[in-house]
Structure 1
Amino acid sequence: MKLPSLLRRRSAPEVGGVARLDRRTKNLTKRLRPGEIAVIHHSDLDRVSAEALVAAGVSAVVNAVPSVSGRYPNLGPGILLEAGIALVDDVGEDIFTAVKEGDRLTLDSGLLLDPDGAVVAEGTLVTTDLLEEQLRVAREGLSAQIEDFTENTMRYLREEKELLLEGIGVPEIRTVIEGRHVLIVVRGYDYRSDLDALRPYISEYKPLLMGVDGGADALLEAGYKPDMIIGDMDSCSDAALRCGAEIIVHAYRDGRAPGVERVAQLGVPTVVFPALGTSEDAAMLLADTKGARLLVAVGTHASLVEFLDKGRSGMASTFLTRLRVGPKLVDAKGVSRIYRSEIKGWHLILLVLAGMLALLSSLLFTDIGSAVGSVFAARIGDLFYWIKELFT
């Protein structure tokens, strides 16, 4: 990942703000406000988390651990630097006891200072040159991750071959999927723009809307009501869970399902689906096994870097799941980049002129239209006659 040379010329001015802390970045982004300092614990900071931090308008990000571990060339740190957000790495676990929620802090290079100027924590200010070197080293070690990915894929195939190949273990549900299009929404890369680009498709085909965890909130934000929600229920809001959709809790293979308790507290009935892999895999397998005619995926993970960026060894299951449902799967990733449903000003002018021309043409072929046309032509002739007389 080569960063813009413009970033190399940026200095590192002092940054101040209110601190917000959470070891889970996706929980923290829900309560961040513009100008605040995000204190996180996130090794291999991924693209989705970084984009959420940028969207929150943070002034700086302080990470208790290295944002690039060297495991693979992750995308998150570069996104922060491109947005002009200061990133301080590896300040240590003690930051979560030394700093409290709401404390005012100042970031001076790699130092985190309290209002009195005392050093609260010290880390490494990530520059573009440093990040490029870290990513270069990470790219060199990517082969080891490919080997691990292959081993995880084979393990998943051995342990889930009945589910993967025959659909054994898929639970009974009340929602009818047979013969329908199913739109599976994950809160992943470019989900907002791709979902927006699919509005004509959704309007015409009325697909079953399936939100995967936070994907349910993505649907609600776009103005749609999910028909089904599937996941471990750690990322979707109470409002989404109460919207009337059928709730499928993705459980561990041994049957443990921590998400059931949360949903039960809301008084919402659930169906448990034990399976290895990710919730988006479970969503695709469920829809395919229940007879979906077509699967349209928004925000899902398709490349090796995306699998690794997700930070879960089980992402190898996604590879095999996509092989299983491949003939039915349409990946909407990036559709917003190649399709724009926009009407420009000159398009409107041409449409209006074309409409007027069509109207005039149709009038001329009627008795009333001919009479009106004759009168109009006579008045135009009179106008030219008076103009001629005026200048002679």
Structure 2
Amino acid sequence: MSRTAHSPVAGDGTIVGPVRVEPTVTALVRRLRKGDVAVIDVMDLDQRTAEDLASHRPAAVVNARPSISGRYPAGGPRVLLDAGIPLIDAAGPAVLDLHDGTTVSITGGAISVETQQVAHGTVLDADAIVDAMRGAADGMRVQLQMFTANAMETVMHEGDVLLEGQGLPQVGVPLTGRHVVVVAPGYRHREQLREIRRYLRDVRPVVIAVDKAADAAHDLGPAASVVVGDLETMGEAALASASHAVVHAPHGGEGGLARAEALGLDHSSAETSLSSVDLAILLAHAGGAEVIVTVGVESRLMDFLESPQADAAGTFLARLTAGGTLVDASTLALVYRHRYSAWTLVTMLTAGVLALGAAIWVTPGGREWVENVWTALTSWIGGN
């Protein structure tokens, strides 16, 4: 087990910390603090969930279930490994019975309270992850079949929204002919925003942010003009910067409607079972956006297979609807990073002029020509 700078690690490699146990990872990350031991119950740990956990710098993550079950190559364990956070895998249901706040010690895969071992799992190091991922590749065919079936069902229920934009609200922000950036709270969304910061500064697109990604857009700039999803997940500053909010709770609840009304924020509601990310892409497309840049949104087949099936199918179909107007932030960063800034162009031009002047100065008759031009120029300025 690798030692990390943030973990309370004893001399023998034992990690000690209070456990945090919640029914869902969403509830867990709200309470997770640096140095805690996060206890989760997740089959096939995806990248987005792992990034949420890693952002709170726990001492370790203990998963009651296999983080790579064999259904497909889940990317979450690699995220935790790269962040230097130990992952104790397949520790069994006993860890879920630990009382929240109980101090545990972890040595290898053994999890103990005081001197009594309560559970035992497997430490997923680099070699173990590679082996598990290799075996999981065989399960991709089954997952792909399930994904395809789910996509067909999504078309049956949400075809009118996907194909005709039926029921999409008006956001009150001009999008026609504009570049629109859709920021979702997905894997590496903050890093992707940093990668395209020159594009954001030069083009000044309209930003539509989903759920807690509104805070990332506000922190890294530019702030979102339109926010979509559950307003309860968004900070006050992000909401204050928005011109319009689309309240959306695909899994039930009011989605922060009361908060929008209390803040006096211009808002509308959307009734669709599609995810808020899908809704944001469809709003940009229906609004006539010339280019839609997605940040933190699934783009690879593996991303779709690791996401919750319903959400993944909807996002896939929303991307197809947007068609050629859509580009991923990671791709945009590769093609836009080589554009020169204004200061770079001025520096290059100045250097070129100086080089040309030096070349003329050392040529026969060049010095006399430069002196004559200089004399004529100063005479003209003086005469004016």
Q: CA deviation at 1:61?
A: 0.8
Q: CA deviation at 1:93?
A: 4.3
SS in 2 for 1:138: helix
The separation in 1 between residues aligned to 2:185 and 2:241, in whole angstroms, is 18
Q: Please name the residue that 1:278 is paired with.
A: 275
Q: Please name the residue that 1:208 is paired with.
A: 206
Identity, % of aligned positions: 32
Give yes or no for contact 1:68–1:135 (8 Å, CA) kept in 2.
Answer: yes
Report 1:1-392 matches (<5 A): 13-29=13-29, 31-101=31-101, 103-114=102-113, 116-233=114-231, 235-252=233-250, 256-261=252-257, 263-264=259-260, 266-269=262-265, 270-336=267-333, 340=337, 364=371, 365-367=373-375
Q: CA deviation at 1:238?
A: 4.2
The separation in 2 between residues aligned to 1:169 and 1:182, in whole angstroms, is 21
The separation in 2 between residues aligned to 1:348 and 1:173, in whole angstroms, is 40
The superposition leaves residues 41-88 of structure 1 with CA deviations (integer Å, 9 ceiling, x where unpaired) of 322211123234334333311123322233211001123234443211
Q: Please name the residue that 1:376 is paired with.
A: none
Higher mean C-alpha displacement, 233-242 vs 299-308: 233-242
Q: Please name the residue that 2:367 is paired with.
A: none
The separation in 2 between residues aligned to 1:60 and 1:53, in whole angstroms, is 10
The separation in 1 between residues aligned to 2:232 and 2:255, in whole angstroms, is 7
Q: CA deviation at 1:267?
A: 3.5
Q: CA deviation at 1:100?
A: 1.9
- TM-score w.r.t. structure 1 length? 0.77
Give yes or no for contact 1:276–1:314 (8 Å, CA) kept in 2.
Answer: no
SS in 2 for 1:150: helix
- TM-score w.r.t. structure 2 length? 0.79
The separation in 1 between residues aligned to 2:128 and 2:232, in whole angstroms, is 34
Q: CA deviation at 1:248?
A: 0.7
Q: CA deviation at 1:295?
A: 1.3
Higher mean C-alpha displacement, 220-229 vs 305-314: 305-314
SS in 2 for 1:58: coil
Q: CA deviation at 1:209?
A: 0.9
Distance change >3 Å, CA 88–CA 283, structure 1 → 2: same
The separation in 2 between residues aligned to 1:186 and 1:314, in whole angstroms, is 13
Aligned residue identity for 1:207: P
Query: Whose radius of gyration is greater, 1 or 2?
Result: 1
Deviation beyond 6 Å, 4+ runs, structure 1? 346-352, 358-363, 368-371
Unpaired segments ≥5 residues, structure 2:
1-11, 362-369, 380-384
Q: Please name the residue that 1:3 is paired with.
A: none
Q: CA deviation at 1:247?
A: 1.1
Distance change >3 Å, CA 81–CA 206, structure 1 → 2: closer
When the two chains are superposed, the root-mean-square deviation of aligned CA atoms in Å is: 3.4
Aligned residue identity for 1:367: T
The superposition leaves residues 219-254 of structure 1 with CA deviations (integer Å, 9 ceiling, x where unpaired) of 01203221001123464334433433411122439x
Give yes or no for contact 2:228–2:280 (8 Å, CA) kept in 1.
Answer: yes
Q: CA deviation at 1:135?
A: 2.6
Aligned length: 354
Aligned residue identity for 1:260: G
